[in-house]
Structure 1
Amino acid sequence: MIALSSRKVLAAAMAAAALTAGAAFVAPTATASVSQGYVIGGGWGDGVKDDFGDEGPVDHDSHRNSLATALWQQILWADGYLAASGVDCEFGPNTTAATKNWQTALGAHSDEGSLDPDGSAGPKTMGTADQWLTDLGNSRDIRYTGTGGRTVTFHRVNGIYQIYLNGAWRNASYTSTSGC
């Protein structure tokens, strides 16, 4: 017998309960963590508005060199806080400064009302970025519309966020820099 993860068991139980009650099944919201190894998304539609609130941190001490850092850098680029050349998978001084500026400027949009400009893209900072995510309606593409007038499109395949970097789609891993 194959053991199912508690997440799969919960999803199956929710689906069965919804079908039994004659209700439409709605996908569960995001419940990711760094321990899963990738930036993970939840349900579709409004569900993308909570995809990043349990992600991170990526900063100069945690996952400094990773594709998850590149995802965050693409957000900083879209909002006009980082040059395109700064999307390099390394959370160095330029990314730290850009993150502090982003937190100061956009932190008022946080659920808590403000963000500590500490230069770390943790759950509160990443969760604030959720507000600018939009499901493009094809069960794969999610767009981040930056306040700087730029957009970034991410793929979400089997729940894992992918970024387009150096000519290819890459899983937003916390531990890999493959393709950076």
Structure 2
Amino acid sequence: MTETLRDRLRGLPALNGTPPHGADPLAVHADPTAHFLNWFDQAVAAAVPEPQVMTLSTVDAEGIPDSRPLILRDLDERGWAFASSASQRKGHQLAQRPAAALSFWWQPIMRCVRVRGVVEQASAQESAADLARRSPQAQAGEEARGWTLYRLLPQRVEFWQGSPDRRHTRVIYTGSAGSWRVETSAGS
């Protein structure tokens, strides 16, 4: 009898990472930015490969989702910054529907951060400064394609701590800067 893909998938290990030692996943900060920076520092300390890489999800004109990996460029009170060429598919999608979702998956420590919100373009000066920070090879040809820095203004941020026993923990922020509502759940 031939092993099916479903059988192969069921046989693969899942959630076999190790949560950061001594970290309380329910330790809540006043805002999701501080919470993210704490978790990011823990991911770096745990030597998670490329913790700055996230999946950006947008929606096209027909409402079909589209996802791709990008690098978090910055995070501050103005939002979660990422960049791309405005002439590429994601730039067109953001122009038509200025909303997106971001997802970070840090497998070695079984953590995921998910962010949803509206997206705004940064100023032309900020986009040019971001492009100037890239290597000369990466800069080549980008100006003509419209290198653009974007900021996602979060409306919902979820911090998920996985557990091998499947008793996962979540901290969810909803609202906007200055008026966050926090909800926690453990063991779900």
Q: Same fold (TM over 0.5)?
A: no
**TM-score scaled to structure 2, two decimals?**
0.25
Q: Flag the structure with larger Rg.
A: 2
Where is the strand percentage greater, Structure 1 or Structure 2?
2
**TM-score scaled to structure 1, two decimals?**
0.25
Where is the helix percentage greater, Structure 1 or Structure 2?
1
